[in-house]
Amino acid sequence: MDDLPYILAQSIHSISQRALFDHWCRASAQKPFPSIDEFNPGKRTHDPNQLVVWRVEDGRVRRFRALYQGAHILDAFGSDWAGKTMDEAVPEFARCFAVETANECVRSGCAIYSIFRTKDANGHAIDCERLLLPLGRASAEQIVASLQLVSVRGEFRRNLVLNEFETQIEVVLAGKIKKTLPAIEP
């Protein structure tokens, strides 16, 4: 996905995902990105129920294996991903994009942000905002993925919304974000 454009950190709509991105930037300070041990955003910064941690397995073909899956992700996808690869866990309709953007996150060392949109039965938008952050020491060894469902006017049930995305999905925004130094908190 070399053609994935650079976007600004201000493109991140979700307040908690922006806080997670800012934490990632602070934790990485003078290095490309933080190690998994240095990345501890805390529950007040971002809900761990919306996170997945993937281990990067380099080989002939790079694989991503689930190390952690938050409860909201389990509810939405209806299956336990522990020990499964991204190829096994992510539904076919989203698999190619998920794997390609995870590979771009590792390759570029940048955060990857995307918004997917579907509609509820009344035609109201339901967005899934997805933020990928690389973690590791010398290279990207893990990726933290934040998945957040948002609908201002629409209605959804987390355990059923995947069917809506499978039926109709639109990529509204997709881009990579370079690490920035967030404003200093008072």
pLDDT in tens, the chain (186 residues): 568 999 999 999 999 999 999 999 999 988 999 999 999 998 888 999 999 999 999 999 999 999 999 999 999 999 999 999 999 999 999 999 999 999 999 999 999 999 999 998 888 999 999 999 999 998 999 999 999 999 888 778 888 888 899 999 999 999 999 988 655 554
Per-residue pLDDT at 58: 94
**Count: domains in the chain:** 1
Q: Is residue 180 part of a domain?
A: no
Pick from 50, 22, 51, 47: nearest CA to 34: 22
Q: Indicate whether 89 belongs to any domain.
A: yes
Within a domain: 41 = no
The answer as to whether 23 is a domain residue is: yes
Q: Specify if 64 maps to a domain.
A: yes
Q: Tell whether 162 is covered by a domain.
A: yes
Q: What is the CATH number of the domain that holds 84?
A: 3.30.450.20
DSSP secondary structure letters along the chain: -TTPPB--GGG---HHHHHHHHHHHHHHTTSSS--TTT----TTTS-GGGEEEEEEE-SSS-EEEEEEE-HHHHHHH-S--TT-BHHHHS-HHHHHHHHHHHHHHHHH--EEEEEEEEE-TTS-EEEEEEEEEEE-SSS--EEEEEEEEE-SS----TTTHHHHHHHS-EEEEEEEE----PPPP-
Residue numbers of the domain that contains 97: 9-30+49-175
Assess if residue 146 is contained within a domain.
yes
Is 75 within a domain?
A: yes
